Amino acid sequence: MSRPDAEQIYEDLSVLRRRSRAAFLVVKVAFVGVLLLYWKIQVLDHAKYWSLAEANRTREVALSAPRGLILDRSGVKLADNTASFTASIVREAAPDLEVSIGRVGLLLGLAEDTLRARIARFASLPRFKPIPVKDNLTMEEVSRIEARRDEFPELLITAEPKRLYPHGSLAAHVLGYLQELTPDELRSERFKERQAGDLVGRSGIEREYESRLVGTKGRSREIVDSLGRVRGEAERVDAKQGTNITLSLDIETQKAAEALLSGKEGAIVVLDPRSGEVLALASYPTFDPNKFINRFTVEEWMSVVRSVDYPLENRAIRGQYSPGSIFKPAMAIGALESGLIDEDSRTTCRGKIEIYGHPFNCWLESGHGSLDLFDALRYSCNVYFYALGRQMGIEEIARTAEALGLGRKTGIDLPGEKEGLVPHPDWKRKTHDAAWYAGETISVAIGQGPLLVTPLQVAAYTALIANRGEPVTPRLALSLTVGPARLEETVLKGRDRVAVKPSSFEKVIEGMFRSVNAEGTGRAARVAGFDVCGKTGSTQLISAERAEKLKTTVKTHSWFTGFAPRRAPRVVVTVLVEYGGMGGAAAAPLARPLFDLYRSRRD
């Protein structure tokens, strides 16, 4: 066998050398890369990794801010705060979440299913975010948990302010209630600074002024060990309480109004016609907003929502009812302004009148005889206003009603107000695709038919009449700080003055004065020496003919609305009692003690 050529051997070594140099270059580059990476971590990204390292030994806890107080006009607390302790689970600190659920449930006295459902509700949130699982811990429970803190690193106990309504259900529909933010809301831009378990205003003043009341959260940076156990506090920024709100409500007047409604269904509004300040706004049945502070189960919430009494419904601003005879002053103003009648125009009432071939009955079967405008208002004669409706026509009636503020929201600073309805031919054509019939006008003339108002709307309409054409906007917030300063943003004046002659208002007010003080339908509201002017109303829910066919009784809502005194009025009282019967018998007697209370406390 011959020896290999020396040239062949050198060729093989040269390949090896090239490959060695390439491998060395790769190793060299990798080594330099590693050095650069360590330099970047140690020098350029020092702050980033320092904060991450700190996060492994610290935990930031949000500190809840006390909500601003809600006070009545004299400084009585209607919504306050009290200390409370809450237990939360931090999933990130739980070695085994399923095991933790069993152990924590046993410690807190919670069913595992309840605890699991609570955690599942906020499962989409980051794992380091605490999930509140039990509120209102007793001192005994707090002590028991604190004594075993090392055993439960996933359990976080926080002290936080809890909303308290010291007067229970008093003014509940004005104050509103709080409810927990949903997971979707927590992910929204609006609530990005909030956390699981936070409560938010869902109705009333709590909702209307949520951004003012909520305050600013603080934070605490706690030092924790490798097991998540707290070992100290590195930093603390205290929470800032929300803004206090002083309302126009007078607690004594509110108490009286709610006591008068107790056991009934209805609403009462008491306001100052000079400024629009609401002194009382009551709706019944009512509820205790304190119950909403403790988180409802779905079943508990649905039992409230589905209640046949509708306790959450604020009838004063959301209940829409036919006004009945309290609409007659508007009819009189429209007829006087259009020149169809004057105070001496007379109509004879024989208990019924036939119009367009159909009989229309007066509430007094025997009839009122011959009446002028003053007595028509005094005795609330239907026949007089049936005849007036035929003369005016629906367009004129609607124009007058809208000019007096009916058929639109009053603008009160409460969410959810409804606007009512003033019907007219265009409305019926658009909503029912049908023509307006002349006979429908006759029903509207006495406040029946599709005409709808809210009790607050009626109070504002009454204030406009009392002010002889000067409207006001009902308001609840007087100031956004504790003290005498008024709320700068509030516009207490309403729309421009109504274009009605002062003499027309005076004639209608004379009729309203006689209704209360000259043995008219409103006499039960009379207060000696206070010159109450008012109007009663009763609205049938079904006609007598339909009631007879259905073999049931005719049910009526009862109204009274009025003001006092006649000159320089200072108070308006509006009362609605659902299914109360005649307004003079059911609603007017509730107004009298409120007029009397106002006079005794302010005269």
Instruction: Spell 139-175 as b/e; 16+ CB within 10 A means b.
Output: eebeeebeeeeeebbbbbbbebbbbebebebbbbbbb
240 assigned to some structural domain: yes
530 and 460, same structural domain?
yes
* Confidence tier at 558 by pLDDT (50, 70, 90): very high
Are both 329 and 230 inside the same structural domain? no
Mean pLDDT of the chain: 87
Q: How far is CA 454 from the centre of its chain?
A: 16
Beta-sheet pairing, 70-71 with 245-247? parallel
Distance in angstroms (rounded) separating the CA atoms of residues 279 and 276: 9
pLDDT for res 45 = 67
Among 49-53, 250-254, 407-411, 500-504, whose mean pLDDT is lowest? 49-53
CATH code assigned at 269: 3.40.710.10
Which of 247, 273, 306 lies at the terminal end of a domain, its last residue? 247
- Per-residue pLDDT tens for 214-241? 988 877 776 766 555 566 666 778 889 9
18 in a structural domain: no
Q: Tokens in use for 122?
A: 């906020």
DSSP annotation string for 404-456 = TTTTS----SSTT----B---HHHHHHHHS-PPPHHHHHHHHTT-TT-BB-HH
The CB density around residue 501, as the number of other CB atoms within 10 Å, is 13
The answer, as to whether pTM is greater than 0.75, is: yes
**Do 376 and 508 fall into the same domain?**
yes
Same domain, 232 and 131: yes
Cis peptide before 166 (omega within 30 of 0): no
Same domain assignment for residues 231 and 280: no
> In this structure, are 230 and 319 located in the same domain?
no
In this predicted structure, the answer to whether residue 46 has a pLDDT above a threshold of 70 is no
Q: Based on the domain organization, do 237 and 382 belong to the same domain?
A: no
Same domain, 333 and 441: yes
Q: What is the 3-state secondary structure (H, E, C) of 143-185?
A: HHHHHCHHHCCCEEEEEEEEEECCCCCCCHHHHCCEEECCHHH
- Asked if residue 66 has pLDDT above 70, the reply is yes
- Report if residue 135 sits inside a domain: yes
Gap between the Cα atoms of 515 and 64, Å rounded: 56
Identify residue 335 by its one-letter amino acid code.
A
Q: Percentage of the chain with pLDDT > 70?
A: 86
Distance CA 114, CA 190 (A): 29
Considering the domain boundaries, does residue 366 fall inside one? yes
Residue 165 sits in the same domain as residue 274: no
Q: Could you tell me if residue 299 is inside a domain?
A: no
Q: State the pLDDT confidence band at 547, using cuts at 50, 70 and 90.
A: very low
Q: How far apart are CA 349 and CA 579, in angstroms?
A: 27
For residue 597, give its domain range.
251-288+314-602
pLDDT > 90: percent of the chain: 57
Same domain, residue pair 417 and 505: yes
Q: How confident is the model at residue 454 (pLDDT cuts 50, 70, 90)?
A: very high
**CATH no. for residue 95?**
3.90.1310.10
**CA distances to 160, 391, 545 from 355, in Å:** 69, 11, 18
Q: How many domains does the chain have?
A: 2
* Predicted pLDDT at 228: 55
Sign of the four-CA dihedral 345, 350, 356, 361: positive
The SS3 of residue 49 is helix
The answer on 156 and 142 residing in a single domain is: yes
Element (H, E) at 572: strand 571-577
**Rounded mean pLDDT of 575-582?**
94
Q: Are residues 208 and 284 in the same domain?
A: no
Lowest mean pLDDT segment, chosen from 260-269, 283-292, 392-401, 541-550 = 541-550
User: At 209, is the pLDDT very low, low, confident or very high (cuts 50, 70, 90)?
Assistant: very high
For tokens 């919504």, name the residue: 79
Give the domain-ending residue among 189, 216, 247: 247
Question: Does 597 reside within a domain?
Answer: yes
